[in-house]
């Protein structure tokens, strides 16, 4: 059962040799090839929850570690920062802290100052400034005036540049990032950062701020970036953000209905975790079918089916145990759906028609009620566990 914990970090699966290479060239293979040619390029991976994006980041790290002149760092932002308070500058600070760790033995004044600056930006600092009553400030400067200098006001020019300028605080961090990057060059000619967790953002505004500010600052330092992003980046107003990256990838669900190699791949995923004497061949086949090709769902369904079998006193998980688990899974997905959403799901189920244009449509994709398969062209389908329930409602 420990091998069927969908909530465990994908690193555990890789470490315990549970990872199964998908058919064809994976996203990790493609990104690594491009990073070997362009170490300072930028890459965005988008896909539904549980589709395996984090696993691809970890495989990129594993593959790049075999390249001698590349230093790669995996950073799970959610472990270092509250995602609900995400703002521009967070990625730059995390990158600066990581670079500072690489050159911690370098005590040159500029490098030491840059390391200390990123520590201050990350954790805050106290600064003692002269305090005075504004009424005590004279109208005109004079030799007798010993207070703080009068503040400067920057007025915007009439022309607006096509790309918004870096904020003054981001620009300062960017300059310090360059200092650390140059200090690390001798030991690490190429540096790549892998950023995880940004696909969990519920709004596009924080992600847009990071792209407009942090991505530009990090790339200006000659550093490669691979990050995951919200699924909305693929559609409507999110598309311009995807175009800010050199390369864009869609990690879709595995098509187990139209693609036999996909079915074989997920069968291997299950068999790597569960022996045949515990999970029957028919049980494996049914689990793969009901998962809809979503990696996280296939593991969750297999675990739930195992619990069904155990509570029933069975020594092996069979097809009817998987069906029970699938029914419970589908009923959970049905919760909270309104009349309009049910109508959309019925149309997808019966005609395969789905054009995501509204927030509600995107929510159906994000919550995996509607699955998108990309095999040359997109195909949409209702999650298999929902189909019998929708048919009953019809």
Tell me: the pLDDT tens digits for 364-373? Answer: 998 999 999 9
Q: Which residue has the higher pLDDT, 153 or 348?
A: 348
Segment 326-356, tens digit of pLDDT: 999 999 999 999 999 999 999 999 998 998 8
Summarize the confidence of residues 192-198 as an average pLDDT.
95
Under the banding of pLDDT at 50, 70 and 90, the label for residue 169 is confident
Query: Is pLDDT of 138 > 50?
Result: no
Under the banding of pLDDT at 50, 70 and 90, the label for residue 129 is low
| Spatial separation of the C-alpha atoms in residues 66 and 305, rounded to whole Å | 39
Q: What angle do CA 373, 374, 376 make, to 5 degrees?
A: 145
Segment 280-308, tens digit of pLDDT: 999 999 999 999 999 999 999 999 999 99
Predicted confidence at residue 97, as pLDDT, reads 92
Predicted confidence at residue 157, as pLDDT, reads 47
**Domains 23-122+169-251 and 260-334 alike in fold:** no
Determine the 3-state secondary structure of 4 from DSSP: helix
CATH of 23-122+169-251, one of 3.40.50.300, 2.130.10.10, 3.30.930.10, 3.30.565.10: 3.40.50.300
Domain boundaries, the chain: 23-122+169-251, 260-334, 339-393
Segment 70-90, tens digit of pLDDT: 999 999 999 888 888 888 999
Predicted confidence at residue 84, as pLDDT, reads 87
CATH of 260-334, one of 1.10.8.60, 3.90.1010.10, 3.40.50.1000, 2.40.50.140: 1.10.8.60
| Spatial separation of the C-alpha atoms in residues 129 and 259, rounded to whole Å | 67
Query: Is pLDDT of 151 > 80?
Result: no
Predicted confidence at residue 142, as pLDDT, reads 52
Under the banding of pLDDT at 50, 70 and 90, the label for residue 163 is low
Predicted confidence at residue 158, as pLDDT, reads 45
| Spatial separation of the C-alpha atoms in residues 33 and 27, rounded to whole Å | 10
Q: Which residue has the higher pLDDT, 146 or 174?
A: 174
pTM equals 0.80
Predicted confidence at residue 195, as pLDDT, reads 96
CA distances in angstroms from 58 to 14, 63, 194, 263, 390, listed in the order given: 8, 9, 8, 23, 37
Q: Are strands 42-47 and 378-382 parallel, antiparallel or unpaired?
A: unpaired
| Spatial separation of the C-alpha atoms in residues 181 and 212, rounded to whole Å | 21
């Amino acid at each position: 059962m420990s091998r069927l914990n969908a909530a465990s970090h994908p690193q555990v699966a890789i470490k315990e040799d549970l990872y199964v290479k998908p058919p064809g060239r994976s996203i990790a293979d493609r990104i690594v090839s491009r990073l070997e040619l362009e170490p300072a390029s930028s890459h965005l991976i988008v896909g539904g929850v549980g589709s395996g994006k984090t696993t691809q980041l970890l495989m990129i790290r594993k593959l790049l570690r075999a390249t001698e002149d590349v230093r790669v760092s995996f950073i799970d932002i959610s472990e270092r920062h509250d995602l609900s308070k995400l703002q521009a500058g967070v990625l730059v600070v995390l990158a600066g802290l990581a670079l500072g760790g690489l050159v911690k033995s370098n005590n040159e004044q500029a490098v030491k100052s840059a390391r200390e600056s990123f520590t201050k930006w990350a954790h805050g600092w106290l600064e003692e400034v002269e305090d005075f009553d504004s009424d005590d400030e004279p109208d005109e400067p004079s030799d007798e005036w010993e207070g703080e200098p009068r503040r400067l006001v920057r007025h915007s020019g009439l022309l607006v540049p096509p790309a918004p300028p870096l904020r003054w605080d981001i620009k300062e961090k960017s300059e310090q990032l360059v200092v650390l990057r140059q200090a690390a060059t001798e030991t690490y000619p190429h540096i790549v950062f892998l950023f995880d967790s940004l696909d969990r953002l519920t709004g596009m505004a924080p992600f847009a701020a990071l792209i407009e500010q942090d991505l530009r600052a990090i790339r200006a330092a000659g550093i490669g970036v691979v990050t995951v992003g919200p699924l909305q980046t693929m559609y409507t107003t999110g598309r311009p953000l995807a175009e800010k990256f050199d390369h864009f990838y869609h990690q879709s669900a595995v098509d187990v209905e139209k693609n036999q190699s996909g079915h074989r791949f997920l069968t291997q995923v299950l068999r790597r975790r569960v022996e045949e004497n515990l999970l029957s061949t028919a049980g494996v086949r049914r689990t793969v079918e009901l998962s809809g090709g979503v990696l996280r769902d296939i593991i969750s369904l297999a675990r739930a089916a195992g619990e069904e079998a155990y509570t029933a006193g069975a020594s092996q998980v069979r097809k009817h145990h998987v069906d029970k688990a699938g029914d419970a899974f589908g009923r959970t997905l049905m919760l909270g759906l309104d009349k309009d959403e049910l109508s959309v799901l019925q149309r997808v189920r019966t005609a395969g028609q789905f054009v995501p244009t509204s927030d509600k449509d995107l929510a159906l994709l994000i919550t995996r009620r509607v699955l998108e398969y990309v095999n040359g062209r997109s195909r949409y389908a209702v999650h298999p566990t929902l189909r019998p329930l929708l048919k009953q409602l019809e």
